[in-house]
Amino acid sequence: MLNYSTSEENYIKAIYHLQQQDGNVTTNELAAELKAKPASITDMMKKLKAKKLLHYEPYQGFSLSNEGKKVALGIIRRHRLWEYFLAEKLKFTWDEVHEVAEHLEHVSSKKLIDKLDEFLGFPRVDPHGDPIPDQDGKIETSRQVCLLDLPFNKAAVVSHVSDQSTEILELLKHKNIVIGTKLEVKKKFSFDNSMEVKAGRQPVFTISEQLAKNIFVKYGA
């Protein structure tokens, strides 16, 4: 495995996360994610294509190659192991770990990470509940959880609905939700446990606690 610059790694990681949701990633999407200008994205896409880390044809969007996915999973492994370390050993709170891990993840010694993994007792999920890839880049994909428990901004696919009543189906139909619909939780309100959810590029809409209780979703890395 070659070494990549911090910049390259950040692009690869961002593409990985975006393509979990959309399959094919666009220039503007990635620019928004990385808070960079579209022109910068195009520049880097050419570079990453030349390194065979992604598939890219001008104007057609892009997606990681198998090699690119392997690199991404390595970065995610480092990130999540550091998050676990920070929370578990250094007693950071869950909302503090991400930023520091963003920096630690770019220290790319394989030995360091494998020894850290061992030291931590081979944890399977990070403090946010996201699965940690193993040495070979294998990751526990598709974890089914109740929509109530889905972390924010985590793309997930509706995989199961508990209640089979016509009433719930009427509601789901009205909200355009079927098995296979991609969702992302944007906000939760503790007052009534309702949540705001986004499906694809539709505007955000609200789901009540009673409804969320009955929806189960699968999500990956």
Partner DNA sequence: AAATATTTTTAGACAAATCTAAATTATTAT
Partner DNA sequence: ATAATAATTTAGATTTGTCTAAAAATATTT
Q: Find the binder of a second copy among 25, 44, 54, 104 (CB under 8 A).
A: 104
Residue with smaller CB distance to DNA, 47 or 175: 47
For the CA atoms of 208, 211, 217, 221, the dihedral, rounded to the nearest 10 degrees, stands at 10
Closest to 8 in 3D by CA, of 66, 65, 51: 51
Tokens in use for 119? 């030291």
Class of residue 182 by CB neighbours under 10 A (exposed 0-12, middle 13-18, buried 19+) = middle
When asked if residue 42 is in the footprint of DNA (CB under 7 A), the reply is yes
Stretch that binds DNA, among 51-59, 65-73, 119-127, 205-213 (CB under 7 A): 51-59
Residue with smaller CB distance to DNA, 58 or 151: 58
Strand order in the sheet with 205-207: 143-146, 215-219, 156-161, 182-189, 194-198, 205-207
When asked if residue 41 is in the footprint of DNA (CB under 7 A), the reply is yes
Q: How far apart are CA 35 and CA 38, in angstroms?
A: 9
Q: How far apart are CA 136 and CA 42, in angstroms?
A: 30
For the CB of residue 219, give the shortest distance to DNA in the complex, in Å.
25
Stretch that binds a second copy, among 93-101, 144-152, 154-162, 170-178 (CB under 8 A): 93-101
Q: Find the binder of a second copy among 39, 107, 125, 204 (CB under 8 A).
A: 107
Q: Find the binder of a second copy among 35, 50, 66, 91 (CB under 8 A).
A: 91
When asked if residue 171 is in the footprint of a second copy (CB under 8 A), the reply is no
The number of residues that bind a second copy (CB under 8 A) is: 18
DSSP H or E stretch at residue 88: helix 66-88
Residues that bind DNA (CB under 7 A): 5-8, 10-11, 26-29, 35-47, 56, 58-61
